[in-house]
C-alpha cells in the first residue's frame, strides 16, 4: 500500500474528538509501508481482499477503523503475531473505487490504541482495544524549545529536499498544537517503519519530541550530504549539457552555412589522396591518419599534429618527376651562355645526360664543386637545372649544427618539423630536382648531433632510395635527386662524407676570363641594376684590365662586381645631374671614381735586394704571392722565424738552413759563418696565418741570398717543397698560384718538374708572357734564382 502524506484538514479535530464513540471491538487494517499518526491525513491504496472487505464494512458502518503497522512489510498475508500492538484509530474520510478493482481511501488518524486481543481473523481482523490517552503538552521552556527546534529542523529539511514542495514549510510554521506538530513531522519523516512505530509507541510526548529531534538531526545531515553530492553532480552535468548544447547549436549553424569547415577539409584531403601517385605504405598511413582525424575533435591538441602530418604527405611529390631534356647541344649552349669557362664541369654534366639519354635511368651522381669563393659554384647549379629541364632548390648548410635539421624532429614534439631535405622536396613539388647543398664544408656539430653524419645517408647512392625522415615516419626515395655540394675547403669535410662526393675542382679565373665574364654578365647586370640600360657609354678591355689588376686581388669576380657597381653609380649620378655621360671611360675617370690604385706591380722592382724572395701561396680565396725576407746579424748560431707561421712552414725553414749548412762550400760559403751569424726569416703580412710545405724552395733561396749576398732575379716567383737531399717535390693549387703570379706581374716561375702537367691544363692564352722553369733539385733552383 503506497502512501503520500497530505496536509491535515483540521489540527484541532483530534483534540475535539470524543473517544467515547469508539467501540471496544474495532476492525483492524494492517499497513505495510507506513505508520499512521493521530491527526494526520493519509491516502492509502488498498489491494488485499481481506483489507478491501474490512474497509467496505467499516465505511458502511461508523467509518472508524483501527490502522496498525506490520512488523515485516514483505509478508503478503500477515497473521496476528505479524502485527504491531499499538496503532491508530482512523476515520475513513473518503472512499474511491479504482478501475483495477482496488480501493483508495483517505483516512485521518484520531487517537492511539493498544490491541488487547484479536477476536476475529476471518474474513478480516477484529480486536478488542484500549484507547491510549495523550498527555497534555507541557508549557515548560525546555519543551517549548524542543518544539521550536523541531519546526526549524523540519523547515531546513524541506528546503534541502527538492521533492517536498516549498509550501510545506509555510504550513509547518502555522501548526499551533505541539502534539500535532510532532505527529505530522513524524509521519513525514524519511525513516523506516520501525523508527516511526517506536515514536508512536512512546506515551510521553516530551520523550517522543526528544527522539524525533534526534531522527531529524540525522535526516538533516543526510539531506545536506545528498544535496552537496547532487549539486556537484548537477554542476558537472550542467557544464557537459551546456557544452553539448552549444556544440549542437554550432553544428547546426555550420550546417546552415554549408557544413563543418574541419569536416570539409578532411573530405577534401581524402579526395586529393584518391588521385595521388604514391607508394602503398604511404597510402595506408594516410588512410589511417584520416580515419583518426575524423574521430578527433578539432580542439584536441593532437588534431593539429595529425592534420599537419597528413598535409605534408599530400604536399610531397612522391612519384612525380619532371621530364629531363636530352638535347645535349642545347644543354651545352645553356651552360656556355650562363658561365664562361669551367669546361671540366660542363663535360661531366653532359656525360651524365648522355647516359640518361641512352639508358633511360641512372642513379644521380653526387657532385661536389670545390674552389675559392666568388667563382660561380652555386649559380652553376641553377644553370645545370635549366640545361637539363629540372627544378632547382638550394639548401644552405652553413652553420647548421643540429641533426634534426636534416632528418626532422619526431612529430610528437611541440613545433616539430620535417627535415630540410623533405621541406625542399615539398617546396619544389618534384622528386628529381637539382638540389644544391651549399657550403657543405661549414656544417657544424654539437651535443644535439652531427648533421654531416646525417648527410651520409642522403649522399650515398646505395642508401638514399630509402631516406627516413623522423617527422614523415616513412621512407622517401631521393635516388633521382641530382645533389650538387659546394665547398671552399675540403679539409673540414668529414672523411666519410668526402668519400661519397665526386669532387670537381674549380680554379680561379685568369685576367682574360675575368674580362670576358665582366663583358658578358657583370656589366649588363650592373647597367640594369642602376638604370643605365639605355645609356650610351662603353668600358673597354683596357679599362677592365686596369680595374682587375689595380683594384682587385681575388680568384673570383665578387670584388670586381663591386668595383663595377661603384663605376655604374657614378655614371648614374652624372646622367641624373647633367643628362649625359661620357661615351668612353678613361684610366683617369677610373682613378677619379675608384681612387688611387690599391695594388701595384712596381712592388717587385723596389723589393729587389739580397735575402728577399717571392713565393707563391694558395689560400681558400685563391692564389696569392708572398715575400720571404731574410736578414743576418752578428751573434750565435740561431734561426728566428716570424710572420705567424705554422709548424710545417717552420720545419721548411729549418730544413732549408740545414741543407745550406751541409752544402756551404758548394755555394762559396765558409761553414764557420753559420756559427757567427743569427738568421731571421720573416713572412709578411704578420697578421695572416700561413702554413704548408710549398714555401720550402723560397725559404732556401732567401737564406742562400742573404748568406751569399747575391740578389734574387727580379719578377721571379717560385713554389715547391724541399728535402734534406736537395730534391724539389710537387705541390698543389698550381693553377691558382700561376694565375696569381700573372696577376701580380711576375714574368718567370720556378716549379717542380712534376707540376708541369698542371701548367699544361691552363689555357696558354691566360699565361702568355710567363716563362716556366721546371726543376728537380735545389741546385737548379739557386742557379736560376740568384744573380751573379
Q: Is the Cβ–Cβ distance between 189 and 216 less than 8 Å?
A: yes
Among 733, 685, 727, 681, which residue's Cα sits nearest to residue 704? 681
3-state helix, strand, coil in the chain (%, to 5): 45, 20, 35
Do the beta carbons of residue 617 and residue 737 sit within 8 Å?
yes
Q: Is 608 helix (H, G, I), strand (E, B) or coil?
A: coil
Strand-pair partners of 27:
126
Q: How far apart are CA 124 and CA 126, in angstroms?
A: 7
CA pair distance 509, 524, nearest whole angstrom: 19
| Per annotation, catalytic residue among 110, 690, 737, 742 | 737
Contact 591, 658 (CB under 8 A): no
How many angstroms separate the Cα of 726 from the Cα of each of 206, 641, 657, 718, 722? 135, 21, 11, 15, 6
Residues 6+ apart with CB under 8 A from 179: 14, 38, 39, 134, 135, 137, 205
CA gyration radius, the chain:
56
Contacts of residue 723, Cβ cutoff 8 Å, sequence gap at least 6 = 655, 729
**694 assigned to active site:** yes
The residues with which 476 forms a beta bridge, in sequence order, are: 467
To the query of whether residue 364 is one of the catalytic residues in this protein, the response is no
* Interatomic CA distance for residues 721 and 694, integer angstroms: 5
Q: Which three cell numbers stand for residue 496?
A: 666519410
The DSSP call for residue 645 is B
Q: Which long-range contacts (CB under 8 A, 24 or more apart) does 49-56 make?
A: 50/77, 50/123, 50/124, 50/125, 51/1, 51/124, 52/102, 52/103, 53/123, 53/124, 54/27, 54/28, 54/29, 54/123, 54/124, 54/125, 55/29, 55/92, 55/95, 55/103, 55/105, 56/103
Separation CA 674–CA 628 (nearest Å): 20
CA 420 centroid distance within chain: 13
Quote the CA–CA distance of 371 and 390 in Å, as a whole number: 25
CB 632 within 8 A of CB 625: no
User: With contact defined as beta carbons under 8 Å apart, do 84 and 69 qualify?
Assistant: yes
Structure-block grid coordinates of residue 111: 487517537
Kindly tell me the sign of the dihedral angle through the C-alpha atoms of 329, 331, 336, 341. negative
What is the DSSP code string of 121-187? -SSS-EEEEEEEPPPPPP--HHHHHHHHHHHHHHHHHHHH-TTS-THHHHHHHT---HHHHHHHHHH
| Cell numbers representing residue 655 in the block | 730544413
- What is the rounded distance in angstroms from the CA atom of residue 138 to the CA atom of residue 120? 39
Closest CA to 322 of 168, 454, 472, 481: 481
Q: Cell 657583370 sits at which residue?
A: 522
Q: Which of 694, 705, 735, 742 is catalytic?
A: 694
**CB proximity list for 205: less than 8 A, separation 6 or greater:** 134, 135, 137, 138, 143, 178, 179, 182
Residue 83 main-chain phi, psi, to 5 deg? -100, 150
Q: H-type helices in 339-471, by residue range?
A: 343-359, 377-388, 404-407, 420-428, 451-458
Please provide the distance, in angstroms rounded to a whole number, between the alpha carbons at the two ends of the chain.
144
Burial class (CB in 10 A: 0-12, 13-18, 19+), 336: middle
Q: What positions carry a catalytic annotation?
A: 694, 737
Amino acid at each position: 500500500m503506497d502512501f503520500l502524506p497530505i496536509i491535515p484538514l483540521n489540527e484541532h479535530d483530534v483534540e475535539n474528538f470524543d473517544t467515547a464513540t469508539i467501540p471496544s471491538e474495532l476492525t483492524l487494517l494492517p499497513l505495510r509501508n507506513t505508520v499512521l499518526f493521530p491527526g494526520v491525513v493519509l491516502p492509502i491504496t488498498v489491494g488485499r481482499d481481506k483489507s478491501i472487505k474490512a474497509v467496505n464494512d467499516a465505511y458502511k458502518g461508523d467509518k472508524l477503523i483501527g490502522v496498525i503497522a506490520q512488523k515485516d512489510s514483505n509478508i503478503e498475508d500477515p497473521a496476528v503475531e505479524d502485527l504491531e500492538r499499538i496503532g491508530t484509530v482512523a476515520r475513513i474520510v473518503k472512499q474511491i473505487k479504482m478501475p483495477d478493482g482496488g480501493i483508495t481511501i483517505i483516512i485521518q488518524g484520531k487517537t492511539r490504541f493498544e490491541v488487547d486481543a484479536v477476536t476475529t481473523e476471518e474474513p478480516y481482523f477484529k480486536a478488542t482495544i484500549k484507547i491510549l490517552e495523550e498527555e497534555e503538552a507541557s508549557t515548560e521552556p525546555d519543551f517549548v524549545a524542543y518544539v521550536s527546534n523541531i519546526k526549524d529542523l523540519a523547515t531546513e529539511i524541506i528546503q534541502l529536499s527538492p521533492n517536498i514542495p516549498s509550501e510545506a514549510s509555510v504550513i509547518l510554521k502555522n501548526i499551533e498544537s505541539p502534539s500535532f506538530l510532532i505527529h505530522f513531522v513524524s509521519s513525514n519523516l524519511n525513516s523506516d517503519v520501525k523508527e516511526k512505530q517506536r515514536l508512536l509507541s512512546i506515551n510521553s510526548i516530551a520523550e517522543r519530541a526528544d527522539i524525533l529531534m534526534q531522527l531529524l538531526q540525522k535526516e538533516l545531515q543526510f539531506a545536506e550530504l545528498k544535496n552537496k553530492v547532487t549539486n556537484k553532480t548537477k554542476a558537472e552535468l550542467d557544464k557537459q549539457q551546456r557544452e553539448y548544447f552549444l556544440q549542437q547549436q554550432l553544428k547546426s549553424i555550420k550546417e546552415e552555412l554549408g557544413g563543418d569547415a574541419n569536416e570539409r577539409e578532411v573530405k577534401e584531403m581524402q579526395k586529393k589522396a584518391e588521385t595521388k601517385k604514391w607508394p602503398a605504405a604511404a597510402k595506408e598511413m594516410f588512410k589511417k591518419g584520416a580515419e583518426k582525424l575524423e574521430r578527433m575533435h578539432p580542439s584536441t591538441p593532437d588534431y593539429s599534429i595529425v592534420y599537419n602530418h597528413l598535409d605534408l604527405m599530400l604536399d610531397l611529390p612522391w612519384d612525380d618527376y619532371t621530364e629531363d631534356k636530352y638535347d645535349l647541344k642545347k644543354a651545352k649552349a645553356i651552360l656556355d651562355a650562363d658561365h664562361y669557362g669551367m669546361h671540366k664541369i660542363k663535360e661531366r654534366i653532359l656525360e651524365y645526360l648522355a647516359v640518361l639519354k641512352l639508358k633511360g635511368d641512372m642513379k644521380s651522381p653526387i657532385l661536389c664543386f670545390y674552389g675559392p669563393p666568388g667563382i660561380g659554384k652555386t649559380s652553376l647549379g641553377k644553370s645545370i637545372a635549366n640545361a637539363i629541364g629540372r627544378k632547382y632548390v638550394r639548401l644552405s648548410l652553413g652553420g647548421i649544427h643540429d641533426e634534426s635539421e636534416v632528418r626532422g624532429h619526431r612529430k610528437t614534439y611541440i613545433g616539430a618539423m620535417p627535415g630540410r631535405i623533405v621541406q625542399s622536396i615539398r617546396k619544389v613539388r618534384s622528386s628529381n630536382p637539382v638540389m644544391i647543398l651549399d657550403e657543405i664544408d661549414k656544417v657544424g656539430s654539437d651535443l644535439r648531433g652531427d648533421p654531416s653524419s646525417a648527410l651520409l645517408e642522403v649522399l650515398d647512392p646505395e642508401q638514399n632510395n630509402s631516406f627516413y625522415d623522423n617527422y614523415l615516419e616513412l621512407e622517401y626515395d631521393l635516388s633521382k635527386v641530382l645533389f650538387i655540394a659546394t665547398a671552399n675547403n675540403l679539409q673540414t669535410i668529414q672523411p666519410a662524407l668526402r668519400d661519397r662526393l665526386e669532387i670537381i675542382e674549380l680554379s680561379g679565373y685568369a685576367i682574360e676570363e675575368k674580362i670576358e665574364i665582366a663583358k658578358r654578365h657583370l656589366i649588363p647586370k650592373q647597367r640594369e641594376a642602376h638604370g643605365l640600360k639605355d645609356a650610351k657609354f662603353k668600358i673597354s678591355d683596357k679599362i677592365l684590365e686596369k680595374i682587375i689588376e689595380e683594384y682587385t686581388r681575388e680568384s673570383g669576380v665578387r670584388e670586381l662586381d663591386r668595383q663595377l657597381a661603384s663605376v655604374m653609380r657614378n655614371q648614374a649620378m652624372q646622367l641624373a645631374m647633367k643628362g649625359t655621360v661620357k661615351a668612353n671611360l678613361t684610366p683617369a675617370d677610373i682613378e677619379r671614381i675608384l681612387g688611387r690604385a690599391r695594388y701595384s706591380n712596381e712592388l717587385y722592382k723596389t723589393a729587389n735586394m739580397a735575402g728577399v724572395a717571392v713565393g707563391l701561396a694558395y689560400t681558400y680565396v685563391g692564389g696569392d704571392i708572398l715575400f720571404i725576407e731574410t736578414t743576418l746579424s752578428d751573434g750565435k748560431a740561431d734561426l728566428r722565424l716570424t710572420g705567424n707561421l705554422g709548424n710545417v712552414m717552420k720545419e721548411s725553414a729549418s730544413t732549408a738552413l740545414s741543407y745550406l749548412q751541409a752544402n756551404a762550400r758548394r755555394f762559396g760559403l765558409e761553414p764557420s759563418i753559420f756559427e757567427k751569424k743569427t738568421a731571421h726569416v720573416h713572412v709578411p703580412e704578420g697578421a695572416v696565418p700561413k702554413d704548408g710545405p710549398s714555401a720550402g724552395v723560397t725559404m732556401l733561396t732567401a737564406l742562400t741570398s742573404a748568406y751569399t749576398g747575391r740578389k734574387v732575379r727580379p719578377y721571379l716567383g717560385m713554389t715547391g717543397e724541399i728535402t734534406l737531399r736537395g730534391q724539389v717535390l710537387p705541390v698543389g693549387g698550381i693553377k691558382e698560384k700561376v694565375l696569381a703570379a700573372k696577376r701580380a706581374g711576375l714574368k718567370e716561375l720556378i716549379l717542380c718538374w712534376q707540376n708541369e702537367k698542371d701548367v699544361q691544363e691552363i689555357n696558354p692564352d691566360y699565361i702568355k708572357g710567363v716563362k716556366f722553369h721546371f726543376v728537380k733539385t735545389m741546385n737548379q733552383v739557386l742557379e736560376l734564382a740568384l744573380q751573379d
